[in-house]
Amino acid sequence: MNAAEEPVIEAERYELFERPHYRFQVDRREFFKQLGCGLVVLCVTAPALAQESGGPRRRGGRGPQLPSQIDAWLHIGEDGAITVFTGKAEVGQNIRTSLTQAIAEELRAPIASIKMVMADTQLVPFDMGTFGSQTTPQMASRLHRIGAAAREALLDLAADHFKADRATLIIADGKVSKTGGAESVTFGELTKGQKLVKSAEHEGSVTPAADWKIAGTSVPKVDARDFVTGRHKYSSDMAMPGMLHGCVLRPTAFRASLDSVDTKAAEAMPGVKIVRDGDFIGVTAPDALTAEHAVESINARWNAPSQVSSSDLFDHLRKSAGAANGRGGGEDTGSIEEGMKAASRQLQATYNIAYIAHTPLEPRAAVASWENGRLTVWTGSQRPFGVRSELADAFGIPQENIHVIVPDTGAGYGGKHTGEAAVEAARLAKAAGQPVKLVWTRQEEFTWAYFRPAGVIDIHAGVRDDGAITAWECHNYNSGGSGLRSPYDIPHQRSQAHGSDSPLRQGSYRALAATANHFARESHMDDLAAAVKMDPLEFRLKNLKDPRLRAVLQAATDTFGWKTAKPRETHGIGLAAGTEKGSYLATCVEVLADKESGSVKVIRAVSAFDCGAVVNPNHLKNQVEGALVMGLGGALFEAIEFENGMVTNPHLSEYRVPRFSDLPRIEVVLMDRKDVASAGAGETPIVCVAPAIGNAIFNAAGVRLRSMPMVPDGLKI
């Protein structure tokens, strides 16, 4: 139960493919018992291993030794209600809307006629989690298949109904009619009395993006009215009859163990119950303030080892680094030695990246309730089934006895892969014999959650006087391998990620290490351009073949007016480009960087983004804008400070996040490649903000800042 004993979360864990612990048993009777008569369409895919093992996929099934996996399903009831079941979680990326669009598109049905049931472990098929920008490329494409298969089944039913050739039928607005005829039949009339199960294993008649009518359009957030009226219930808004409030005693340092504890004063408080289990100490009380007072009254002594502080962080990461771990960098090409020999100039630099906190505005929260050995938990998480596994491990009960429900959550950004609050609330509820709500304080969220990994990045590059990069060697210590491989065409290249001993608990974060690696690479690219006296855009284009990356660079710089921009005194312009998770980004910024006053402000930002066929232009723009704003926090001022095992700035008054006054004027250019499959888009738009700002500061003030955050205390020269 002690957070310090939990396994350290690997920085890049969400890129690992664990096989699911659990498979939903397909039982047709169960479906109809739960959902009522009608039509069910399942999406069945091969487990990852089966796909990797090669060999042609047989139509209609595969070998019995490889059970197939259901990823999502759809039900059309006798009343015509369309319900879709998926394990993905809505954390503000608007996938409830985009996934609804996929079904509406294929079924030719109104958005309002479709209900998405998401992230409820009792109702939806297993899903590893909502991360890695996988919802759009994986889940949306599966829902397109399901929707298309359902449309085919409805047309078959309608052909029977009308005793007509299918080719004469039209499906539109949630109805099927005969060409030229006034008569139509609703989906509910077609599925009445049916117990039809279809599977959608193949592309079938999936609608190509070029023909999309509903997908590809700016459908508003489907349940938006519930949010502007305060009606939506986040997990922290849940309440149950007889529910108590919980609070947990936190150790004085990471990795601490309990030496002694005195809980007498707390025990004397009316309605307070103390729960002690190993090093875990928590209380329940009738209201949150009493619970908090009870915890404050507990006298505990902790033993903690001495630990690395932020002042020694970067030395420690370098000293404790291991050999290359093979993540993200790709194979070596050519020979670094030869590449350096061919260079006219060499540039070597080190970049440091601080730990930062996700700071979702909704902190971790859970409501837990036990009944006859069965546990129900409402919690905000990107991994409902992961939380269920954590609960099963913590309490030694079968997963089948645990029901995790994730209401649409107050953001995650990669920071809610774990179920700490769920486990703690469940432990307290078990002891209390009553439902318990536990809401982490902001201070707890800043301290006991996990962080975006800190890192040290070394780059050594060689360039010829004509601007051709001849060699590139890059090592990332601790922060990870995402986006580490340079997209530029460099004949001699070595890019390696190395694990280090992390003083803080670290884990996923929007775009993972791609932000750090882009910061280092695109800053270094600018220095190389300056070394050979080339314009940063021209220099990049000279070393770049990838047509999609060239296209976003061109689009961003055209919209920004790169070639004609003449920034005012104390202002500078900068750009950066990159590709990650199948999408392509270029960002240009104008920055005020005043050496006299020390003030730095991003004035204007343009991002051009290509993630294939755009599913919802307005929501995609919202993501790109939001990523720019979030990214400028980590670029300029966000950093977790810590000393000997404790965070020293665990408050919003001490940890600065971007506010209205930090907002630049933002323009977003979407490339919308209808000919390319849609990639995920919630993460990549963050990766170029920091280097573009750093390059603009260099342009304005002639200073190269090689640490993120760059100006936590203003521009100091």
Partner 1 sequence: MAKVSDINVNGADAAVDAEGERTLLSVLRDDLHLTGTKYGCGEGRCGACTILLDGSPTRSCQVAVGSVGRRKVVTIEGLEQEGQLHPLQQAFLDHDAFQCAYCTSGMIMSGVALLRKRKNPSEAEIVRFMDGNICRCGTYQRIIAAIKQAASKPEASR
Q: Which residues of the chain form contacts with partner 1 (CB under 8 A)?
A: 91-94, 220-221, 224-225, 227-234, 236-237, 239, 245, 287-289, 359-363, 408-411, 413, 439, 441-443, 618-619, 622-623, 625-630, 651-653, 657-661, 663, 665-666
Q: Least Å distance between CB 685 and partner 1?
A: 10
* DSSP conformational letter for 714: B
Cα–Cα distances (Å) from 178 to 28, 119, 163, 183, in that order, read 31, 39, 10, 7
- Tell how many helices (H) and how many strands (E) occur in the chain: 18, 28
Nearer to partner 1, 634 or 691 (CB): 634
Nearer to partner 1, 15 or 625 (CB): 625
Nearer to partner 1, 233 or 301 (CB): 233
Task: From 451, 471, 476, 448, select the one nearest 460 (Cα to Cα).
Answer: 471
Q: Least Å distance between CB 5 and partner 1?
A: 28
Q: Least Å distance between CB 346 and partner 1?
A: 38
180 HSE (CA, 13 A, CB side):
3
Nearer to partner 1, 87 or 407 (CB): 407
Nearer to partner 1, 344 or 599 (CB): 599
Q: With beta carbons less than 8 A apart as the criterion, state whether 9 and 505 touch.
A: yes
Alpha helices in 302-401 (DSSP H): 313-319, 336-342, 384-395
Nearer to partner 1, 240 or 394 (CB): 240
Residues 90/92/96/97 CA torsion (nearest 10 deg): -170
Q: Least Å distance between CB 239 and partner 1?
A: 6
Task: From 478, 536, 531, select the one nearest 507 (Cα to Cα).
Answer: 478
Q: Least Å distance between CB 626 and partner 1?
A: 4
Using the Cα atoms of residue 213, residue 218, residue 223 and residue 229 in order, give the sign of their dihedral. negative
Q: What residue has token string 């659990």? A: 22
Q: Which secondary-structure segment (H or E) carries 156?
A: helix 141-162
Q: What residue has token string 């995609």? A: 620
Nearer to partner 1, 522 or 625 (CB): 625
Burial (0-12, 13-18, 19+ Cβ within 10 Å), 665: exposed
Q: Least Å distance between CB 664 and partner 1?
A: 9
* DSSP conformational letter for 140: I
Q: Least Å distance between CB 96 and partner 1?
A: 11
Q: Least Å distance between CB 180 and partner 1?
A: 39
Q: What is the DSSP string of 165-201?
A: -GGGEEEETTEEEETT-S-EEEHHHHHTT-EEEEE--
Q: Least Å distance between CB 410 and partner 1?
A: 3
Task: From 249, 507, 275, 501, select the one nearest 386 (Cα to Cα).
Answer: 507
Residues 215/220/226/232 CA torsion (nearest 10 deg): 50
Q: With beta carbons less than 8 A apart as the criterion, state whether 700 and 591 touch.
A: yes
Cα–Cα distances (Å) from 85 to 293, 382, 386, 716, in that order, read 42, 16, 18, 54
Q: Least Å distance between CB 141 and partner 1?
A: 23
Nearer to partner 1, 94 or 502 (CB): 94
Nearer to partner 1, 91 or 708 (CB): 91
Q: Which secondary-structure segment (H or E) carries 402?
A: strand 402-405
Q: Least Å distance between CB 222 and partner 1?
A: 11
> Whole-angstrom distance between the N-terminal and C-terminal Cα of the chain?
47
Cα–Cα distances (Å) from 657 to 412, 462, 713, in that order, read 15, 37, 14
Nearer to partner 1, 236 or 502 (CB): 236
Nearer to partner 1, 175 or 245 (CB): 245
Nearer to partner 1, 8 or 224 (CB): 224
Give buried/exposed letters for 57-90 (b at 16+ CB in 10 A, else e). Answer: eeeeebeeeeebbbbbbbbbbbebbbbbbbbbbb
Nearer to partner 1, 174 or 634 (CB): 634
Q: Which amino acid is at 268?
A: A
* DSSP conformational letter for 678: P
Question: Angle at CA 457, nearest 5°, toward 453 and 463?
Answer: 150
Q: Least Å distance between CB 167 and partner 1?
A: 40
Residues 469, 478: Cα–Cα separation, whole Å? 26
Q: With beta carbons less than 8 A apart as the criterion, state whether 638 and 713 touch.
A: no
Q: Least Å distance between CB 252 and partner 1?
A: 20
Nearer to partner 1, 108 or 604 (CB): 604
Q: Least Å distance between CB 247 and partner 1?
A: 13
Nearer to partner 1, 189 or 667 (CB): 667
Q: Least Å distance between CB 525 and partner 1?
A: 26
Residues 266, 262: Cα–Cα separation, whole Å? 9
Q: Least Å distance between CB 545 and partner 1?
A: 33
Nearer to partner 1, 253 or 357 (CB): 357
Cross-strand pairs, 41? 74, 198
Q: Least Å distance between CB 233 and partner 1?
A: 7
Beta strands 600-610 and 665-670: pairing type? parallel
Nearer to partner 1, 457 or 629 (CB): 629
